[in-house]
Every structure is written in structure tokens, then in C-alpha cells.
Structure 1
Amino acid sequence: MTLGNLTGISAVANVQSRSISAENPTGEPGQGGRRTEGTGAHAARDLGQGWKVSPSIEIGPGETATLADIAGSGCITHIWLTTHTDNWRRLVLRSYWDGDEAPAVEAPVGDFFCSGWGRFAQVNALPVSVNPNGGFNCYWEMPFREQARLTIENTSDEKVIVYFQVDYWLGEVAAKSAYLHAQWRRSNPLPSKTVHTLLDGVEGPGHYVGTYIAWGVNSSGWWGEGEVKFYLDGEEYPTICGTGTEDYFGGAWNFDLGPDRGGYAEFSTPYLGMPQVIRPDGQYASQQRFGMYRFHLPDPIRFRESLRVDVQALGWRSGGRYLPLQDDIASTAFFYSSKTSTTRPEAPTHDVMEIC
């Protein structure tokens, strides 16, 4: 499976490319660069219309802004977005498909783009690319048949500035194309001897295509012995059960090259990676924090009726015994479903998302 056929969309000739940004809020033909008011109006005052008058939007405290509201049938193919790093866990991105009032995508902006800790790290994956300094890009196929609506909620008590562009095409969508979903959950801290749930009760049919985890360690020693498990179609025990956290994300032996070679080693590849390791600074940044992703593009996990996914948090204690950990684990799970919405957790709030 590749990005080009995640949802069964085939190449068709009768489509029209469109793009929505602050310069062209409706995406209509010939309507870009015509704004006379906007966040760049002061800088363009000597140049006038057509000279970057409206490159971004301002979102007030507690407000929700609509990035795109597209009528008809088509597919979003690329989203570019940037905002100050302080906002990455203050803004909630949502998408709604075909008039459904419940969101299919609901996640902090940073976590949706594999950047959960409010600090830049280069991400070189196929569906997500993060470039200096905080240029967020995603290439998930997002088909819709009647309508697509993307919003951003500002949960903070300060106004924020967001730059964005949504690229899409209008035209016929294949009958069996599935809808993109993304769900965010955080355990902070994870209760003792429990698992962190990534998904629970998700309705199918569908296929699971990606995991991003921002993992904050609250103890000394190695933290990634826990298994990632997939329970398909109501199973009591998982059909897919990994061998350890670092193994699921494509690494081995604790991601550790040893003290002579720098210890933990960051890496970013098309399908999996650990692009971010935040090391304690001996003063205020007291905890180790990690950002990891795995995208199941060649190996989607398919389910018919339902899907549950969880991960254990395990370290080591004396006597070669496992130590259940109480870490800070925030996960974003990406999947496609035939439904426009499904079971989801409570909406992220400012205090729940906050990095502290």
C-alpha cells in the first residue's frame, strides 16, 4: 500500500485542482491574491492588492476558525501549516466529512504532525514531513463525497497566528473510498499496572495506518519493554502482538548506540522513526522525552467490525523483572474507516494537552 492508493482512489481525468489559504478562503478559481485586508496589509501598504495582503489568520482566545469548507466530491491531498511552537499543544485540528457533526480527525496540531513536545525535530516520513523551522506538511489522502470541513480551535487565553494551505481536487471519488480518522489520547501519568489505549471500539470496516507517540519518561532506566497490541473484531486477546516498544517503531536494543556513540539515536525514515529525543538539561527540563512514529503504509492492519489498540509501559526492576511504569504517554492513531465518524475519546482540552 502506498500513499497513492490508501483509499482506492484511482486516477481520473475529470478533476479540478483547488487550494484554500488565507489568500483564497473559498478555493474558487481566480480568487487568490485578491484580498485587500489581512495580517499582511500593513506590510503591503505601499504595494496594494496582490502583494501578500493576507498570508495568515488570527484566532482569538477560545475561538474556532474554519480553515476549509469544501462542497462537493473530491479529495484533500496536502496540508501545509505553521504557527509558533507554543501553539502546537494549544490548537486542536478537526476534520468533518460529508456533513457529519462529529469529527473524524481530532488531535492537537503538533501531534497530528508528529511534533508533540512543542520543539522542532525534522520528520522525513512519507505521509508527514516537518521542516525547519516548524513547517508542517501532511499527505494523507482525505476523500469526501459531499463536503469536507477543517477547523482549528484555540484553547488558550491568547490570540494565535496560523499560516496554512489546503490543497485538494474536486471530482468523482471511488465508491468504496474510506475516510481518514485520527484520534488523540493522553495518559499523564499512566496508572500503575494498566495499559495506554490508542483506540477502543472503533467501528469498521477499515484499516489502521499509523501511530505517533510522544512518550515522557518518569523513572530512571530503560522504558520501552511494553508490547503494542491490536485486537481485531472483538477479540479478547490480540491477533497482532509485538515484542517491545522500540521494536514496533523499527528500532532495537533500546535505540541505544552506547555511551561512546551518544546513547539514544534519533532517526527518521519513510515509514518509521524516532525523530526526537529531548534530554534533561540538569535544571528545569528534568525528564527524558521521545517522539516516535510508525506508518503502516506497506502493511495496513485491516479490520472488519471493530479495532482496539493499546501499549504497555514496562521497564526493568531488580532480579530481571518487569517494572510497570507510570509515564506520560500521548498517542495519535491514524486509520481509515467506511464511516464518517466512530467512537472517540473526549475532546482535547488546554489543561489535558499542556506540556509540563
Structure 2
Amino acid sequence: MRIEVENPPGGLFYQIQYHLFPATTTVQTFTRALSPEDQTALDTIIAQWNNAGQPPVPIPVDSRTISNTRTLNPGSTEIILNESQGGVIRSLRVKVDPELTNPEITGSILQNGDFESGNMDGWSGGDYSVSAQAAHSGSYGIKLNGGGNLERYIDTVPGQFYSVNFWARLDNETVAPTWGGLRLSIEDPSDWTLLSVSASLSNAVVPLGQWILMSKGFVAKGTQARLRINNFSGGGQWEASFDDFTLVPDGNIIPVNYEIRVYWDGESTPSIQTPVRNFFGHGLYDQRQWSSLPMAMDANGYICYFPMPFSQSAVIEIENKGTVQSQLTWEIKIDNQVPDMNQNGYFCATFQEETKSWDDNDFVILFEATGKGKFVGHTCTMNGDSGCIDYLEGDEIIYVDNEIIPSVFGTGTEDFYNEGWYFGSEGVFSLPYYGLIVNDDHCMYLGRMEPYRFQLTESIPFNQNIVINLEA
């Protein structure tokens, strides 16, 4: 829904009011019969939406398919497309599989995670003890007293995704909290970057004396990570038992150091130059499957269905800027019909990265371009350094063609992504035009979100330039 008003009262903002009726209230529905044409159009739209993640329009049967698999060494570049005739790219699929340092590992790599040695080998902390009464399985577990903490350093492979799993039991509440509970935090010890954190565990969540399985994934930043369990609460303390810790690689390293570049019709500066993950909708964090109409990710890799026309030539290359050898697989489907570039635009994509604080009283530039075109969408990775998501209060402000008063002055970042109330309790979700791939959405956690929005039916045209800002 979009509302436009002239001279709104109170300045640039407006309010929408609604009323909630009791569940027993009967509301008369809209019952006008659809014409055959309207019904056909509606069925087509529903079918298209249900087909998200698949080609939104049929790919011509006579289109060409270019596919291959190559080894991509650190520092090397692979040209995956080098066309010398015109056409339209209808489908671009890419999968990057970095090789594991220890590919034979299939189970837990954490030693003494079950404490069956009867001691604390590999663990440290304070106010804890190995105890038979704390065992979830076997003979021993670890008992953490009210003010204690438990930690362990582990060796990691940069970019590798790991899953930490353990059993926990709250035995006694020694100090009642105002909020929070016990939690697992995972940090990079080189600069204490918080990589991941579990939900807080308290007797408001699980009854005293009941075992609960807890799991949390993280992507290693460097060659070590620290696991730490402690009280994270408003003054609360618990006696608790822990056992059966496991640390399992998922069998794949998330590709974080790869760049895609695309050149149309002999240009020397690429029209697309972004990190691979960001181009296909993923940022710095978890790797999850998702689907929209123009882009998706499934078990076979990243997919882009945006049509990409060119009249003479096209070059697509991917560079490995990391330190790990990788297997690169791609599949490109090209419509042989040569487009009239006087009637079509070149597909372009840019990458922006900025850090701002509230004290800056400034804006983050989401997108800016000079020339003529249409803004059709974006993906975004957001991280609040404080662990909070107050940045969602920032308004989107869009200037078109050198205008002084913006064409769009929004009411908040979450509203910009068709959501509200800090994305509420949606969790992660993917819809045809917008979604949220990552949602670490609480001030106690990481303050990280990765939303996307594709404005296919409401693109923003510009003839000279465009600037899209998000308020810091």
C-alpha cells in the first residue's frame, strides 16, 4: 500500500488508524463475481507467486545453456561467460563450494564435550565443577553455580559454518532476574567480534529441573572462536547443569570472499561489480535457502532471473579473493533473440558499505546512480553495533533528478521493507517481492538483519540521477 498526500498536516508524516473487532464480529465480504478475463489474470498472478524461485517467465525452448565446473584457486579469476553476439540472459545460476581443510570430518570436532574424562580438560571459567549429578548422559556433566561462567577456545576455518549443540538444565534460581537468562555467546578472540548468541534460558522459558537441547550456528571469522556460557540478565542468577557439547561443521564453507563482475557490449568498467553473496541476496551472515520472483537460493546454488539484455557482447567473471581453493559451478541460459538496446536498459548492480552512528546525524547511502534508468530493488545487510535494532527507526529518503525536496520521505526502515514494529514476530521469511533472510532481532542478541525488496511493479524511474538514503 502506498499513500500520497498534498500538504499533509503535521509536516512530512501521516498516521493510519485501524480498529480491531472481536473475533465473533461478522464482516460482509466482497462478493462481486469476476469476469473471465479478471479470473484468468488472477489465476496467472497466483500461479506466478506460487512459482517463486522458478523462472517467472518461460525461458525460450531454443535458448542456449552454458554450464561448467572449475576449480577456482585463491587469487584467480574464472570467466564463466564470454559472448560475442547479442542476446538476453534469462537465468544465471552460480554455486561456490570452498573446500574444507579437513573434509573427512563428519561428526563433532569438540573434545571432552561430554566431560566423561571426569575433568575440565579444554574448558575454563569460574565457579563450576564436574559432577555426576549434572550428567545428561554418561557419568559426568558440568555444574555451573549462580555467578559462574564456562568457556572454551576452538580452532576454526575462516568462512566455515559450525553448529554448536548442547543440553542444558536449570537447577535453581538463586537470584530472580528482571529479564534475560543464561546464554551461549560465540566470539572471535582477535577483536571480540560477536559471531552468534543463543536465546536466553531462564525458568520463565523452561521449568526448573527439565533438560532442553540448545543449538546455535555461526560462521567463523578467523582461525579461533570462543564459546562462553554465562548469566546475561537483569541481575538474575541460576545454578545450572550442562552436558554433551558438540561442534559440527556443516560440510560447506560459506563463500564470503568472491566477487562477480559483468561487462556489457565492450565496456571497460563493469556494470555489475559486487561480492557474490551480496549480489544474490546474502550478506555476511547465515546461509539460508530463500525464494523470490527474480532471485533465489536453493541446494544447487544462487539464482538470478532478472533479464539481462546485450546487443554485441557479454563477459561474466568471478574472482576468488580468499585463501581457500573452491569449486565453482555455473549455468547460464541465454535467449538468442538480439534486443534493441534503444528500447531496453542494461542490468546494473552496485555494492555499498557504510558505518554510521546516531551521533553522525547523517545518512547511509543505500544506492546512487547517474544517468537514466529504473531502480528495481535491492538486498541489504544491517548490523547494529550495540546489538540493538534501533537503526530500523531510520527513514528512507529518495531524491530523483537533482530535486531538493525528496520524492519519497518514508516513516522507518522496517516500513520500507513492507513490515512494521521491527519486523514483529515474523522471524525469517521470503515472499515474491520482499522478505527477511536473517533476523537476529533482539537487543540482547546481535542486531543483525538481511531484508530484501524488489520493486518490480513500482520501480523508480530517473532521467539524470537518483540517491536513496537511509537515516542513520
TM-score using structure 2 length: 0.52
Note if contact 2:264-2:314 (Cα within 8 Å) is conserved in structure 1. Answer: yes
Whether 2:352 is the aligned partner of 1:306: answer no
The one of 296, 317, 332 aligned to 1:166: 332
Q: Is it true that 1:82 corresponds to 2:128 in the alignment?
A: no
Q: What is the CA deviation profile of residues 5-29 of structure 1, one whole-angstrom value per residue up to 9, with x for unaligned ones? A: xxxxx9999x94111111xxxxxxx
- How far 1:198 sits from its partner (Å)? 2.0
Q: Distance in 2 between matches of 1:12 and 1:19?
A: 11
Report the secondary structure of 2:376's partner residue: strand
Whichever residue aligns with residue 417 of structure 2, its letter is F
Task: Give the distance between the partners of 2:84 and 2:397, measured in 1 at CA.
Answer: 38
In structure 2, distance between residues paired with 1:116 and 1:11? 29
Query: Which has the larger displacement, 116-125 or 188-197?
Result: 188-197
Q: Which letter maps to 2:89?
A: I
Over residues 245-264 of structure 1, what are the superposed CA-to-partner deviations in whole Å (9 max), with x where a residue is unaligned?
Answer: 1101010111123xxxxxx5
Mapped pair 1:181 → 2:348: yes
1:162 and 1:119 mapped to 2: Cα distance?
20
* Structure-1 residue corresponding to 2:268: 101
Hey, what's the Cα distance between the residues in 2 that align with 1:78 and 1:11? 11
Is 1:208 matched with 2:375? Answer: yes
SS class of match (2:277): helix
Q: CA 1:237/1:83 → structure 2, altered by over 3 Å: closer, same or farther? A: same
1:157 Cα deviation from its structure 2 partner? 2.5
TM-superposed deviation, 1:309:
1.2
**1:116-170 deviation digits (Å, cap 9, x = unpaired):** 12422232211111123x6211101100001011011111123221111111122
Task: Could you tell me which runs of 5 or more consecutive residues in structure 2 were left unpaired when the two chains were aligned.
Answer: 1-44, 50-56, 98-251
Q: Which runs of 5+ in 1 are unaligned?
A: 4-9, 23-55, 258-263, 314-356
Whole-Å Cα distance in 1 between the matches of residues 58 and 280 of structure 2? 27
Residue 59 of structure 1 aligns with which residue?
Answer: 72
The answer to whether the 8 Å contact 1:88/1:116 transfers is: no
| C-alpha spacing 1:299/1:279, structure 2 compared with 1 (3 Å) | closer
Aligned residues: percent identity? Answer: 27
State the Cα deviation string for residues 218-247 of structure 1 (Å, max 9, x = none): 125442011112110012331112211110
**Structure 2 CA distance for partners of 1:115 and 1:222, relative to 1, 3 Å:** closer
Instruction: Kindly provide the CA deviation profile for residues 283-339 of structure 1, in whole angstroms up to 9, marking residues without a partner as x.
Output: xxx6231110000101000011111111113xxxxxxxxxxxxxxxxxxxxxxxxxx
Rounded to whole Å, the distance in 2 between the matches of 1:58 and 1:255 is 40
Instruction: Give the match for residue 420 of structure 2.
Output: 252
Task: Report what 2:320 is aligned to.
Answer: 154
Partners of 2:441 and 2:456 in 1: how far apart? 30
Which of 270-279 and 159-168 deviates more? 270-279
Rg bigger for which structure? 2
Q: Which amino acid aligns with 2:334?
A: Y
In 2: Cα distance, 1:221 partner to 1:187 partner:
17
Report if the CA contact (8 A) 1:94-1:107 is conserved: yes
Distance 1:12 1:83 in 2: 24
Note if contact 1:88-1:108 (Cα within 8 Å) is conserved in structure 2.
Answer: no
Amino acid at match of 1:64: T
Decide whether the 8 Å contact of 1:228 with 1:242 is kept in 2. Answer: yes
Letter in 2 for 1:276: V
Deviation for aligned residue 1:89 = 2.3
Superposed, 1:35-54 pairs within 5 Å as none
The answer to whether the 8 A contact 1:110-1:118 is kept is no
Cα distance in 2 for partners of 1:279, 1:230 equals 26
**Counterpart position of 1:199:** 367
One-letter code aligned to 2:382: W
Distance 2:302 2:440 in 1: 20
2:256 equivalent to 1:243: no
Residue 67 (structure 2) aligns with: 21
Q: Secondary structure at the match of 2:393?
A: coil
Q: Paired residue for 1:123, among 290, 296, 301?
A: 290
The letter of the residue matching 1:79 is L
Residue 61 of structure 1 and its aligned partner are, at CA, apart by 1.5
Structure with the larger RCO, 1 or 2 (CA within 8 Å, 6+ apart): 1
* Alignment equivalent of 1:265, drawn from 424, 427, 430: 427
In structure 2, do the counterparts of structure 1 residues 305 and 93 end up closer, same or farther at CA, with 3 Å as the change threshold? Answer: same
Flag the 1:115–1:71 CA change in 2: closer, same or farther, 3 A.
Answer: same
Q: 1:157/1:11 Cα in 2 relative to 1: closer, same or farther (>3 Å)?
A: closer
